Amino acid sequence: MTYSNILVEQHDAVTLITLNRPQALNALNSGVLEELIEAFAAFQADPSQRCAVLTGAGDKAFAAGADIKEMADKPAADFYAGDFFSRWTSHVVQTTRKPWIAAVNGFALGGGCELAMMADFIIAADTARFGQPEIKLGVAPGMGGSQRLTRAIGKAKAMDMCLTGRMMGAEEAERSGLVARVVPLAELRDTALKVAAEIAAMPPLAAIANKEMVNVAFETTLEQGLLFERRLFQVLTATEDRVEGMAAFVEKRPGVWKGR
């Protein structure tokens, strides 16, 4: 598959996907959407790939939102009939079982912030700025911003962000729980690739299970979540990688994983 709106590179077991419309601050048009769906499906399907990083081209933006120029003249019926943006959630989020990280290198606004929040976690450059400014366009978040932002940073800050459309800097985003780590912009790409390589070197079934468990915490009661965690833990004890992992610990050597 050749892409014109994104770049896809493989760094050993890590797939690096770069939104590549820097002249439009990597705004998310339908071309980007389709290619991202393809790229994430290819990442998921390739057994040699264990973790992905999504970032934006240039030093200014991860993504400044859905492409306003593309949306401006679109009739309301088309948004509804085409179930605009539903495929992001169903394809990128639900079918990507392997871990992936958003490396936010600047503006992450509107759909850009929402896309970053679909990642398993966010590593931000110190220059990153997050926001849900849709209210200023007469709309509201439409790709999960009102739900994922509220779960990540709580009602007070989510309301503040959505109702004023203000931007939140990297330091506040980390303090608020939106971002896992903040690093200098110049170190962002290498740090994200390094963290992804660390995850890629983990036993692959355990990586998938850890991701599933944490995600279930957002969907269910504590009792059901604890049961899900316990059962998945028990399932992992049946894997060859569990036997290897515990033997490697006892023998003071690195584990060699089979993904079985």
The Cα 106–Cα 83 span in angstroms is 29
B/e letters for 218-252, b = 16+ CB within 10 Å, e = fewer, are eeeeeeebeebbeebeeebeebebbebbeeeeeee
Query: 52 vs 14, 64, 99, CA distance in Å?
Result: 5, 21, 7
Q: Whose Cβ is closer to ligand CO8: residue 110's or residue 203's?
A: 110
Choose, from 24, 64, 66, 206, the residue flagged as catalytic: 66
Q: Which of 10, 12, 69, 95 binds ligand CO8 (CB under 6 A)?
A: 69
Given 31, 41, 42, 84, the residue binding ligand CO8 (CB under 6 A): 84
Q: According to the binding rule CB under 6 A, does residue 109 interact with ligand CO8? A: yes
Contact pattern from residue 141 through residue 160 relative to ligand CO8, giving x for each residue in contact according to CB under 6 A and a dash for the rest: xxx-----------------
134 counts as catalytic: yes
Tokens of 13: 């077991």
Q: Which residue is nearest to ligand CO8 (CB)?
A: 142
d(CA 5, CA 192): 21
Which residues contact ligand CO8 (rule: CB under 6 A)?
24-25, 27, 64-69, 79, 84-85, 107, 109-111, 133-134, 137, 141-143
The residues that are catalytic are 66, 111, 114, 134
